[in-house]
């Protein structure tokens, strides 16, 4: 009975960890794309300023 009571809690925790990992991964992808597009915008400006000066 004790192990039977612990099993659903374990399953819920595992499922919650899976959802948490997926959301964290999707957030990471979104931030990565944002930083990538930001870098693509900023780096040519810095290079141009460096060449100009």
Q: How many residues does the chain have?
A: 53
Contacts of 37 (CB under 8 A, 6+ apart): none
Q: Could you read off the pLDDT of 16-33 as tens digits, one per residue? A: 788 888 898 999 888 888
User: Distance (Å, rounded) from C-alpha 21 to C-alpha 17?
Assistant: 6
Q: Could you read off the pLDDT of 30-42 as tens digits, one per residue? A: 888 888 888 888 7
Q: Taking Cα atoms as reference points, which of 7, 3, 27 lies closest to residue 15?
A: 7
User: What is the predicted pLDDT for the residue at 2?
Assistant: 53
Is 0.75 topped by the overall pTM? no
User: Distance (Å, rounded) from C-alpha 19 to C-alpha 8?
Assistant: 16
The structural domains of the chain, with segments of one domain joined by +, span 19-43
């Amino acid at each position: 009975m004790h192990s039977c009571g612990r099993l659903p809690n374990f399953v819920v925790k595992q499922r919650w960890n899976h959802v948490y990992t997926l959301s964290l991964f999707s957030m990471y992808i979104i931030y990565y794309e944002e930083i990538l597009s930001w870098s693509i915008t900023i780096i040519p400006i810095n290079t141009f300023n460096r060449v100009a000066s």
